[in-house]
Structure 1
């Protein structure tokens, strides 16, 4: 006759197995949740937001990364992920529409391993809880961080340093927190407290940032004209790296999904000096 403890252990193991098998969700359910959570319908974007490459219908493991490059896809295959979730996906408006060369190889790898690709661009930049802008503010320990308008699609944010810094001190702080030295375009003021920022390739927001009366503007990239805007308007500019300023939002989104639905999540940071 089976002993009570043996019966309990068998039952407990079956329950654990049941929960493990149930620790996943339908692809369509995940897409619907993300569309609503990120308020995708409120954005006019340069690429489709949502499911870009269809894979298996059940999702338990998600890999997140900034860009859907081949090394990220290879890492997802190695980890046997069901989905890749990125900020920079495929099918940008300025790109050729044919699937050849690099893009063909990327998509072929996803299809061959039945892996879904989800991508969210501007909706992820703007999101107030897991977006790139709020995530960068948390990484840089900025206080009173908020978008400059109440519009859901607002991309420009402003806030304060926790304490006043010199322009050189802010550059050192950004280097320490992001692991990458920014390009600093200096202005005449020697103390920085109020800052504005927008992650990625948002250097042209510098004029709007200057109109806010802040001491400095932080973004990812820089253009030739940015130098003149900073110098003539008296605002310090820090080009802290497109990738470096946008690695935190997608990671936060993956962690949110893991907590919300019990999914396995792994953020994979493919280094990019740009």
Structure 2
């Protein structure tokens, strides 16, 4: 057993969540999805979380026996957490809301979706805790989502390349020379996905890559990567498949760019790209710092 306050304190310090201030995304999206439901999220969630939108979101019993790790709070992720946990256990996630990102070979998603009130009530009744860490996890120099991908690909991070100082969400690396087909095979195996989302060129000689876990469907980032000699742009999403005007506009912009790019653009799914850090670096971090049992909860369908 480990004291919850000890885990929370160490997480807060490790990710320096106070220094980031309000999370730019979830400070907007949490009110946007909960307010129309008349759900009093400001009372339901912990005070510091309501201010920062990172950190301890729901507080349960004071001692923790197991830490569960997941990316998005899908219904099935939450059901498994509730079913397999003991009172006081902690769920560590990257996001406090589900984001239906859409399937490049299936249905488009509806964007951000709230956690159902029934699950929040069950979590509170069982005295469980939830801690989420968004941008501070993405940007961490040793435990970041991009760092985890680079490590798994045995990539050499270009530490002397000033481009890595320009955008903290894009990581430039060198990998062993390969081609598009082989790189896609490696990525499918690494992220345990049935297929990738692909646009751009199929290349015979790839060595310099850009890595962007999560939403990498930013044309300006892709243009900058191309200008800096990148041959393959690896990300969670190369397209926005959210079924609204915003998603359709972003998809159109992306397709216009993709028709002329010289790079291979490879999407491995938003959730799979970010689950890797839980599976590797964060799992190790919890076990080494607290000698505690960790349980991975992969998403039931990576393209959702």
Name the TM tier (shorter chain).
0.7 to 0.9
Partner of 2:215, secondary structure, is coil
Aligned to 1:12: none
Of 52, 68, 79, 1:74 maps to 79
Q: Corresponding residue for 1:10?
A: none
Contact 1:206 1:230 (8 Å CA) reproduced: no
Partner of 2:120: 107
1:263 to 2:292 alignment: yes
Counterparts of 2:158 and 2:300 in 1: how far apart (Å)? 27
1:127 is the counterpart of 2:140? yes
Cα distance, 1:188 vs. partner? 6.9
SS of 2:237 mapped into structure 1: coil
Cross-structure match for 1:228 = 256
| Deviation of the 1:272 alpha carbon | 2.3
Counterpart-to-counterpart distance in 2, 1:187 and 1:259: 42
Query: Which has the higher Rg, Structure 1 or Structure 2?
Result: 1
CA distance in 2, matches of 1:243, 1:41: 25
Give how far 1:133 is off: 0.7
CA contact (8 A) 1:56 1:115 kept: yes
The C-alpha deviation readout for 1:26-71, integer Å capped at 9, x for no partner, is x222222111101223435222110111111222311111112222
> How far, CA to CA, are the matches of 1:167 and 1:230 in structure 2?
15
Matched, 1:139 2:139: no
Deviation of 1:145 after TM superposition, in Å, equals 5.7
1:3 paired residue number: none
How far did 1:208 drift? 2.6
Instruction: Name the CA distance, whole Å, in 2 between partners of 1:228 and 1:150.
Output: 28
For the 8 Å contact 1:131–1:250, the answer to whether it is kept is: no
Q: 3-state DSSP class of the match of 1:135?
A: helix
Whole-angstrom CA distance in 2 between matches of 1:222 and 1:154: 18
2:164 alignment partner in structure 1: 149
The residue aligned with 2:180 is: 167
Are the counterparts in 2 of residues 124 and 249 from structure 1 also a CA contact under 8 Å?
no
C-alpha offsets along residues 215-253 of structure 1, whole Å, 9 cap, x if unaligned?
111111133222332332322210111111111112321
Write out per-residue CA displacement over residues 164-199 of structure 1, whole angstroms, 9 at most, x where no aligned residue: 112222112212222222122122753211000111
Over residues 112-140 of structure 1, what are the superposed CA-to-partner deviations in whole Å (9 max), with x where a residue is unaligned?
Answer: 11100100111111212222111111222
Name the counterpart of 1:7. Answer: none
Number of residue pairs matched by the alignment: 244
Unaligned runs of 5+ in 2: 27-52, 100-110, 240-250
Instruction: Say if 1:128 and 1:54 are closer, same or farther in 2 by CA, change over 3 A.
Output: same
CA distance in 2, matches of 1:91, 1:133: 20
Structure 1 residues 227, 190: CA separation in 2 closer, same or farther (over 3 Å shift)?
A: farther
Distance in 1, Cα, partners of 2:189 & 2:98: 34
CA distance 1:62–1:206, shift in 2 (3 Å): same
Q: Distance in 2 between matches of 1:263 and 1:110?
A: 20
